[in-house]
């Protein structure tokens, strides 16, 4: 691509960032749309976040993504925060505005678009959500805001699950999040569920574990969605399929959170056929075969 005096810059701030796949998404989109834009990762050391955000504004950077460990910490460095990001308590996208950056959370809208792309409906459904960390908390907000009938929030620490359920239910004005101890999965109603795996168990290189191994649990799942995308076939996914369910990894969530960020930075709408071409580029980069 031609880089000249008109080239706009976007990027990613985090620590570490060397493993990121985000440049594939944004630079592929820029090429497809003939945008004079380049996306690069920025490794931000601990204690340098404020300087990084202010420096990005001073350097006329168009927008930034934010990854661990700064998704919550960055919020106090922003001049505006979107309502959804405020509720979730995490920001992963910064959009340039007057005097600084406005923070958004595109992770959860990205997950929703990813599931829609796979034909997965969550409205009116009963869902099992595994985990009560930051990712699971955000998924709980998504479910509550999208009209899920009930979310059974299973976690090793019941107290943590209860805290997340209380917060989400209160902020969303609902009572649909129902906390449970992970080991009490046998108390779930006798039916099949959509299950969302939102823990780090099974993430590369710890690829041979799932948060639950009992086949009786997986008989309760008609569709399993693992937020992990590396490996592309997690132990959780294998166990879901072994009991006749459909299983998906989280690469499309990565795709769509990036696409939504790109749309915000450039005030455009990316058509679905273009999104799927970017997805193929991601899979090729990661050597994933369907």
Handedness of CA 285, 287, 288, 290 (dihedral sign): positive
- Contacts by residues 52-57 (CB-CB < 8 Å, ≥ 24 positions apart): 52/13, 53/13, 53/77, 53/78, 53/94, 53/100, 53/101, 54/100, 56/11, 56/13, 56/94, 56/101, 57/96, 57/100, 57/101
**In Å, how far from its chain's centre is CA 253?**
6
Residue 289 annotated in active site: no
- The span from the first CA to the last CA of the chain, in angstroms, equals 30
Q: Of the listed 71, 220, 230, 252, which one is catalytic? A: 71
Report the catalytic residues: 71
């Amino acid at each position: 691509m031609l880089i000249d005096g008109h080239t706009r810059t976007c990027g990613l701030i985090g620590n570490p960032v060397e493993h990121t796949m985000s440049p594939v998404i944004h630079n592929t989109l820029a090429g497809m749309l003939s945008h004079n834009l380049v996306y690069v990762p920025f490794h931000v050391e601990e204690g340098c976040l404020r300087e990084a955000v202010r420096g990005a504004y001073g350097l006329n950077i168009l927008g930034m993504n934010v990854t661990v460990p700064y998704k919550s910490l960055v919020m106090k460095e922003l001049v505006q925060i979107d309502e959804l990001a405020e509720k979730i308590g995490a920001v992963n996208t910064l959009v340039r505005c007057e005097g600084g950056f406005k923070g958004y959370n595109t992770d959860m809208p990205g997950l929703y678009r990813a599931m829609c792309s796979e034909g997965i409906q969550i409205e009116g459904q009963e869902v099992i959500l595994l985990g009560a960390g930051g990712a699971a908390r955000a998924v709980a907000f998504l479910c509550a805001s999208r009209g899920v009938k009930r979310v059974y929030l299973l976690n090793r620490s019941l107290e943590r699950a209860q805290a997340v359920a209380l917060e989400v239910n209160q902020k969303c004005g609902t009572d649909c999040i129902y906390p449970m101890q992970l080991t009490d999965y046998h108390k779930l109603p006798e039916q099949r569920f959509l299950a969302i795996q939102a823990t780090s168990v099974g993430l590369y290189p710890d690829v041979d574990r799932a948060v639950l191994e009992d086949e009786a649990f997986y008989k309760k799942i008609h569709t399993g969605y693992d937020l992990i995308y590396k490996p592309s076939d997690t132990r959780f996914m294998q166990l879901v399929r072994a009991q006749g369910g459909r299983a998906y990894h989280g690469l499309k969530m990565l795709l769509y959170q990036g696409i939504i960020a790109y749309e915000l930075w450039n005030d455009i709408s990316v058509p679905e056929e273009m999104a799927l071409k970017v997805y193929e580029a991601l899979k090729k980069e990661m050597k994933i075969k369907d």
